[in-house]
Amino acid sequence: MDAEKAIINRKSIRAFKKQIPSDEDLLDIVKIAQKSPSWINSQPVRIFIAKGDKLDAMRKEHKSINENPDVHTRSDLKFTPIREWDIESQNNMHNKRKADLSMFGNKFDEMKQVQSDNLFDAPAVAYITLPNNYTEWSLYDAGAMSEALMIAAQDKGIDSMPAFEFVKYPDRLRDNLGVRNRSFVLGIGLGYRDENNPINQIEGKRMSVNEVAKIIK
């Protein structure tokens, strides 16, 4: 698969099959993603991949925490409510919400919550981390490497789901994964899409290229 096809064919998958990507494939896509640009070659990103019994236990704990009304999100990156985003971003979010409700009706929120509670049934999750004292420039590295990882995965037929859901409770991640002095920036579910689950029909529409880019001569 060439780069264009891999980028176009990648989409956020919210329900995965039980088939687990091999350790070899997971390490290979990380190795490929390491070729992404790094600010002043700082290479601050470290990736921790959970799978197997460890991830199963984390999945059960995540569901339990989500169901506890006394526990609230304390992500390492500040959570920003929709109302605090710029108006164009808010419009895009609201338009996607309308499309989702149009497709699934009142069942949508319940479907979404079930998959979120179960970490989308992802058989592997790659946690993207930065040092606790990272500079804002390092967020570029994290984003670039995350995208490269997902495209490298798609080239191997491995689907992905980048989501805030994976990093909602970073203190528990630090304990479960034995990670210290690192900030959890993003989690990426990795596996093979469940074609029979209707929630995988969801796809966010993109703005037109003329709205996004201008060539100035």
44-96 pLDDT, tens digit each: 999 999 999 999 999 999 999 999 999 988 999 998 999 999 999 999 999 99
- pLDDT (average), residues 162-181: 97
Mean pLDDT within 181-187: 98
The model's pTM: 0.95
Give me the percent of the chain exceeding a pLDDT of 90: 93
- Beta carbons of 30 and 127 less than 8 angstroms apart: no
How high does pLDDT run on average in the chain?
96
pLDDT for the residue 1? 62
Under the banding of pLDDT at 50, 70 and 90, the label for residue 106 is: confident
Write down how long the chain is. 217
Q: How confident is the model at residue 3 (pLDDT cuts 50, 70, 90)?
A: confident
Contacts of 34 (CB under 8 A, 6+ apart): 43, 145
Confidence of residue 12 (pLDDT cuts 50, 70, 90): very high
Task: Render 64-132 in DSSP notation, one character per residue.
Answer: HHHT-TT-----SSPP--GGGS-HHHHHHHHHHHHHHHHHHGGGHHHHHHHHHHTGGG-SEEEEEEEET
Edge-first strand order for the sheet with 159-163 is: 46-51, 124-131, 182-191, 159-163
Angle CA(59)–CA(127)–CA(151) in degrees, nearest 5? 115
> Distances in Å between the alpha carbon of 134 and those of 47, 63, 110, 182, 192?
15, 30, 37, 9, 33
Select from 2.40.30.110, 3.40.640.10, 3.30.360.10, 3.40.109.10 the CATH code of 3-79+119-195. Answer: 3.40.109.10
Looking up tokens 């034995």, which residue turns up? 178
Convert the pLDDT of each residue in 119-140 to its tens digit: 999 999 999 999 999 999 999 9
Look at residue 2 in the predicted model and tell me its pLDDT. Answer: 83
State the pLDDT confidence band at 189, using cuts at 50, 70 and 90. Answer: very high
